């Protein structure tokens, strides 16, 4: 493991940084769109419209991170559920999966701590509350099934698109789904799909309501998608593979 850390620390550090940046973006736009003192909050009154703007912001953030130099280096999983599903498909070695998951949780926590430092009282306001993910008014069962479903669909799309001639658009498809889920699904589950993302917010806010739900449902949903995908099909665990960076997963060298 130490040898792997010495050789592949740039990929591990990139993965942590990507999720930290995602959490910073979620925090900034959460304050802009949901804090009652924000001008944007006054301009956009309808909850659906506000969620649509949040979805657009986070979808574009996800796309930008996937195609960024950091994303091209690490593969831009940014999510323990994604990494574990690729592990189940045999596309990620166990030592890399362990390092990625640790990096993702560390990055999510670091990003939220930095957001709390920079945004101070604004992010702590109850209307924002460190962008925590909480079950909707329909209860835990509905929230669990919703998280399971959106995670299943997301990873199915990632697998299908990345294995096709449209592979270079995998990141765009993932970003479009993030936007759609935040806009339309968030009232059911808060829209996480990501245990490390939920952990980062929960740690900063000290709000652990139904945290087990956001740990289990995304992982189970993506593992189900992996189980239904042809195990023998080729492909890499990078969301954007065709770039000049070396690949930690398939062994392709930098060019």
Domains and CATH numbers, the chain: 2-228 (1.20.1080.10)
CB 117: neighbour CB atoms within 10 A?
9
Q: Within 13 Å, how many C-alpha atoms sit on residue 114's CB side?
A: 16
CB 33: neighbour CB atoms within 10 A?
21
Token pair in block for residue 101:
């998951």
pLDDT at 131: 96
Q: CA 214, 216, 185 angle in degrees (round to 5)?
A: 45
**Tens-binned pLDDT, residue by residue, of the chain (255 aa):** 666 667 777 889 999 999 999 999 999 999 999 999 999 888 998 999 999 999 999 999 999 999 999 999 988 999 999 999 999 998 999 999 999 999 999 999 999 999 999 998 899 999 999 999 999 999 999 999 999 999 999 999 999 998 888 889 999 999 999 999 999 999 999 999 999 999 999 999 999 999 999 999 999 999 999 999 865 556 788 877 666 777 887 766 554
Spatial contact of 222 and 82, defined as CB atoms under 8 Å apart: yes
Q: Which of 136, 145, 225 is nearest to 187 (CA)?
A: 136
CA distances from 51 to 106, 179, 205, 211 (A): 27, 9, 21, 22
The whole-model pTM stands at 0.93
Q: Within 13 Å, how many C-alpha atoms sit on residue 212's CB side?
A: 2
Cα of 51 vs its chain's centroid, Å? 17
Token pair in block for residue 234:
């080729």
pLDDT at 62: 97
Phi, psi torsion values for 73, nearest 5 degrees? -75, -50
Helix (H, G, I), strand (E, B) or coil at 255: coil
Identify the DSSP state of 183.
I
Spatial contact of 241 and 167, defined as CB atoms under 8 Å apart: yes
pLDDT at 89: 92
């Amino acid at each position: 493991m130490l040898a792997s850390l010495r050789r592949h620390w740039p990929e591990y550090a990139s993965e942590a940084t990507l999720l930290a940046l995602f959490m910073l973006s979620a925090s900034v736009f959460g304050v802009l769109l949901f804090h009652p003192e924000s001008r944007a909050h006054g301009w956009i009154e309808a909850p659906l419209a506000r969620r649509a703007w949040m979805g657009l912001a986070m979808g574009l953030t996800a796309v930008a991170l996937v195609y960024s130099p950091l994303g091209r280096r690490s593969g831009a999983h940014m999510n323990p559920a994604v990494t574990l599903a690729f592990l189940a498909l045999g596309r990620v070695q166990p030592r890399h999966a362990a390092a990625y998951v640790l990096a993702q949780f560390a990055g999510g926590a670091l990003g939220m701590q930095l957001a709390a430092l920079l945004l101070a009282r604004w992010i702590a306001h109850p209307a924002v509350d460190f962008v925590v993910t909480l079950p909707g008014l329909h209860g835990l069962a509905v929230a669990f099934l919703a998280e399971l479903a959106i995670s299943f669909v997301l990873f199915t799309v990632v697998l299908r698109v990345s294995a096709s001639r449209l592979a270079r658009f995998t990141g765009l498809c993932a970003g479009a789904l993030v936007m759609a889920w935040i806009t339309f699904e968030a009232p059911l589950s808060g829209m996480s799909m990501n245990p490390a993302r939920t952990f980062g917010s929960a740690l900063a806010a000290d709000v652990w309501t139904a945290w087990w739900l956001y740990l289990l449902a995304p992982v189970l949903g993506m593992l189900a998608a992996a189980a239904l995908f042809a195990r023998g099909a080729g492909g890499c665990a990078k969301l954007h593979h065709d770039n000049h960076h070396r690949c930690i997963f398939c062994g392709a060298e930098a060019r």
